[in-house]
Amino acid sequence: MQTARQTTDQTTRAGGDIVAGLKTILPMLVAVAPIGLVFGAVAVGKGLSPLEAMAMSALVFAGGSQFVAMDLWTDPPAWAALGFAALLVNLRLILMSASLERAVADFAPAQKLAAFAIMADENWALAEARSRRQKLTPAFYFGLSLPFYGMWLVSTAAGALLGAVIGDTRPLGLDFAFPAVFIVLLMGFWKGRQTGLVLAASALASILVHALLPGAWYIAAGALAGLAAAFIPLSREQVA
Amino acid sequence: MTIDPATLATILAMAAATLAARLAGAFLVRRITLGPKLEQALNTVPPAVLMAVVAPTALTTGPAETAACAVTALAALRLPMLAAATAGVVTVAVLRALGF
């Protein structure tokens, strides 16, 4: 009896966490759909088959690097250069997984591997925000991440199949949904002056590198500059 | 619908590079003992990454985006996430419609 009730309790809680994760990611699903559509359409325009476009979305699952690859695409593609470009664009994932590791420390090994394999900016940021308030459960993380992954695949497929039918979604402002959500999350990570210093360093480096270098170097540059700023001692406790 | 071998090789190279980045940070952090300083630095990774992603959009894209970023940040002080983000999206759509 006791065990059965405990199991039911745990199942109920897991179910609640899946729903909570799904609710949290909902606005991101709406926002990512047009981006996936555009990626699918661009990929087909570059000569990829719909199946190839979907395979890239399924296996790479990192929008920024996929668009960079489309920018650099040749026929036949230069696989080594494109693989290296993906690494550079995605360097920030190293920092992100280092930070997320502490929140998923109690996940089973297979869950952990899956958690990192489908870690992207959006679900990562929402999971980090959740972990600052309460324990991050596998149910919440996958309730958050799997629909997002699924939407990326579905929208890529739709874009690849519909291709040029898709019009410009810019007037709707949907492309702004990601920066908007990131800004809201940013405000939540504020913890006083040290955060201000980190944000200033990150913004400065990011804008500078964005202006000077093509590609997505600016994200890694901003992230590293922000991380470096975290070591600048501001308060008296840190001097000792 | 076919998969071209060169395209498949490219996709796999990109996937391997991305997966390596996704696992490397967790792998490294698990193998070193985190002192308080490093722990504190890791805590700043989320805001640092988010700011790096957002900053060029916020400040160099155009007046509509800059204004919408400001509106979103202010709305975030009072409103829940979805409402604040929606305020930003509506702001950018309206300003673009007005020709900014």
Do B23 and A198 lie within an 8 Å CB cutoff? no
Residue-level pLDDT at A4: 60
Side-chain-side CA neighbours of A80 within 13 Å: the count stands at: 0
Side-chain-side CA neighbours of A225 within 13 Å: the count stands at: 23
Nearest to A93 by CA among B27, B35, B85, B11: B27
Rounded to the nearest integer, the mean pLDDT of chain B is 91
Same domain (yes/no): B72, B91: yes
Which residues in chain B have Cβ-Cβ distances shorter than 8 Å to A185?
46, 50, 81
Least CB–CB distance from B48: residue in A90, A174, A223: A223
Nearest to A33 by CA among A157, A163, A127: A157
Same domain (yes/no): B10, B58: no
List of residues 6+ apart from A92 with CB closer than 8 A:
A219, A220, A223, B21, B49, B52
Counted domains in chain B: 2
How much is the ipTM here? Answer: 0.85
Rounded to the nearest integer, the mean pLDDT of chain A is 87
For residue B96, pLDDT beyond 90:
yes
pLDDT band (50, 70, 90) for residue A239: very low
Residue-level pLDDT at A168: 63
Per-residue model confidence as pLDDT tens digits over A106-150: 999 999 999 999 999 999 999 999 999 999 999 999 999 999 999
Per-residue model confidence as pLDDT tens digits over A60-119: 999 888 988 887 788 889 898 889 888 888 888 999 999 999 999 999 999 999 999 999
Same domain (yes/no): B42, B28: no
Do B14 and A218 lie within an 8 Å CB cutoff? no
pLDDT band (50, 70, 90) for residue B81: confident
Do B52 and A112 lie within an 8 Å CB cutoff? no
* Residues B29/A76, Cβ–Cβ less than 8 Å: no
Do B10 and A69 lie within an 8 Å CB cutoff? yes
Same domain (yes/no): B59, B46: yes
Nearest to A134 by CA among A102, A95, A103: A103
Per-residue model confidence as pLDDT tens digits over B8-44: 999 999 999 999 999 999 999 988 887 888 888 888 8
Nearest CA-CA distance, residue A13 and chain B, Å:
23
Nearest CA-CA distance, residue A213 and chain B, Å:
13
Same domain (yes/no): B27, B42: no
Helix pair angle (A217-229, A193-212), 10° resolution: 150
Same domain (yes/no): B48, B87: yes
Do A56 and B46 lie within an 8 Å CB cutoff? no
Torsion angles phi and psi, residue A230, rounded to 5: -65, -20
For chain A, domain boundaries: 2-173, 190-233
Residue-level pLDDT at A238: 45
Same domain (yes/no): B20, B46: no
Helix pair angle (A50-59, A138-162), 10° resolution: 160
Nearest to B14 by CA among A109, A190, A55: A55
- For residue B8, the enclosing domain spans 1-32
